[in-house]
Amino acid sequence: MPQRFDSINFSEDITADPEYNASLSSDRYTCPDFMKMEWEKIWTKCWIFAGLESDLKETGDFFIYDVGRESIIITRNENNNISAFYNACQHRGNKILTLDLGWVKQVTCPYHGWTYGLDGELKKVPDEDLFSGGVSCKESSLKPVHAESWAGMVFINMSPNPAPLKTFLGEIMNQLDPYHFENMELVKHQSVTLGANWKTVRDNFLEQYHVDFIHPQHASFVDCCDAQNYLWPFGHTHTCVESPVMNPRYPMPDEPPEYMAQYLKGLEINSDDYIGKVPDIRAAIQKQKRKIGKKLGFDYSELTDEQISDVFQYDIFPNLFMTIHAERVWFYGPRPHPSDPNKCIFTKFSLMIPESKIRDKDKGLELLPGSYEYQYSSSRVEHEVFTREDVVEGRNSLTATIDQDIHYLNDMQAGMHSRGFNKAVLSNDEGRLQHFHNWVDNWMSEDSLWSKVSAGK
């Protein structure tokens, strides 16, 4: 059975269908001119996910988001708000902060000591009287970028006057608020450089057609064939994979398979009670998680039964994927290289509910199998930066599934340069991917929906 697709509009004017039908020719992924257009029309116009609000707990905390040719400083300022500005000193342009994240009292350029406040305002110019023309504080403050936070995530927007984040994400915010990602803790932060266009990476995570082929460990346990997909305005999508279930292409076992048995054990359910009743396990888990959750102090009351058991993936245009379980979320995605369309950086943040609420080691309780793969840390986890070779040769891992994806991405990019390849042919099950590209074309057009919405806000 093919996957199902439904479109959801945000409003009468903000509709899911962009009325473009993009052709996925190879130059879309390889051409420097196309990349330049994307920079102008997408990356500098769109709200983009930049990092976590938990890295901005105290006044003076900052993190840097590098994207394309830009480096953006994001801080917690003295008014307890979030400020963002370009990481370029207004004296002669030096990139001011070079650490990934940290704490500063003020933002001081190391070259000649110009000093800015945490909101980017110019505060001090050493030997100011040497500037006979004077230095205008207003003109020489750091150039601001819009920043907004939601559910523990920080988004930035480089355009001068964008419509708010709420307009960009619409109803998606209401659907995800019950998870309370803002209460989850960062347990892993990883970045890997890839020899692939950012959209080659994007495409990989926008379809499940490949799952049976490159992720054999999922083949019998994931029912991707019947997945329900939703297409949203501005290029966002989401999909739901029921869990835990058997793939209907495989015979239904009599006994619960090992991974379901482990899941049941962690929830104090005897898996022998489900011999001959494997299709009933998903509903049993939904019910039991509410009960065990209470014991551990984790509250499922805002979540639907589906949200408790199933895996939801939300794809926020252009650079954020969220793979969501009730107890864990991954925020991940690509950002373009400064100049090469054949490269990108892929970053993944893994977050989980606090350790005491997800498991009790002594009693053997565990709300989500696999939680022991992650180590909690009282200090901020290290940002691990590595290469695709580190993944392929087993020195680092973004989980077996993503490693398998990464294995193929460089080869996808290489094939697109061949004289023997012209354009992609998509199946019906790749509808989210087509939707994303239709919206890429909408964003790139003169009369993009976002430009209309931002002009009329």
To Fe ion, the closest distance from the beta carbon of 220 in angstroms equals 16
Tell me which of Fe ion, ligand FES, none is bound by residue 310, counting a contact when its beta carbon lies within the kind-specific cut-off of 5 to 8 angstroms.
none
To ligand FES, the closest distance from the beta carbon of 112 in angstroms equals 3
Torsion angle of the four alpha carbons 383, 389, 395, 401, in this order, in degrees rounded to the nearest 10: 80
Instruction: Provide Rg for the chain, Cα atoms.
Output: 24
CB closer to ligand FES, 111 vs 213: 111
Q: Is 143 in the site for ligand FES (CB under 6 A)?
A: no
Q: Is 124 in the site for ligand FES (CB under 6 A)?
A: no
Nearest Cα residue to 205 out of 304, 311, 351 = 311
To ligand FES, the closest distance from the beta carbon of 89 in angstroms equals 3
Tell me which of ligand FES, Fe ion, none is bound by residue 91, counting a contact when its beta carbon lies within the kind-specific cut-off of 5 to 8 angstroms.
ligand FES
What is the per-residue binding string for Fe ion in 382-421, x denoting contact by CB under 5 A? -----------------------x----------------
Residue type at position 226:
D
To Fe ion, the closest distance from the beta carbon of 284 in angstroms equals 28
Among 36, 57, 69, 92, binds ligand FES (CB under 6 A): 92
What is the per-residue binding string for ligand FES in 171-210, x denoting contact by CB under 6 A? ----------------------------------------
Tell me which of Fe ion, ligand FES, none is bound by residue 405, counting a contact when its beta carbon lies within the kind-specific cut-off of 5 to 8 angstroms.
Fe ion
Q: Is 89 in the site for ligand FES (CB under 6 A)?
A: yes
To ligand FES, the closest distance from the beta carbon of 130 in angstroms equals 12
Among 91, 236, 282, 289, binds ligand FES (CB under 6 A): 91
To ligand FES, the closest distance from the beta carbon of 160 in angstroms equals 24
Tokens read off for 47: 């709200």
Using a 10 angstrom Cβ sphere, with 0-12 exposed, 13-18 middle and 19 or more buried, the burial of residue 48 is buried
Would you call the peptide bond into 248 cis, given omega within 30 degrees of 0 as the criterion? Answer: no
DSSP run (H or E) holding 413 = helix 400-416
Strands across the sheet with 107-108, in order?
107-108, 115-116, 122-124
Q: Is 94 in the site for ligand FES (CB under 6 A)?
A: yes
Tokens read off for 73: 């400083």
Tokens read off for 61: 């905390």
To ligand FES, the closest distance from the beta carbon of 108 in angstroms equals 8
Question: 436 and 21 in contact (C-beta within 8 Å)?
Answer: no
Q: Ramachandran region of residue 19, left (φ > 0), alpha (ψ -120 to 50) or beta?
A: left
Q: Is 112 in the site for ligand FES (CB under 6 A)?
A: yes
Q: What is the 3-state secondary structure (H, E, C) of 254-315?
A: CCCCHHHHHHHHHCCCCHHHHCCCHHHHHHHHHHHHHHHHHHHCCCCCCCCHHHHHCEEEEE
CB closer to ligand FES, 116 vs 168: 116
Among 103, 111, 131, 372, binds ligand FES (CB under 6 A): 111
CB closer to Fe ion, 55 vs 405: 405
CB atoms within 10 A of CB 364: 10
Residue with tokens 């001959």: 276
d(CA 67, CA 43): 8
Residues that bind ligand FES (CB under 6 A): 89, 91-92, 94, 109, 111-114
Residues that bind Fe ion (CB under 5 A): 405
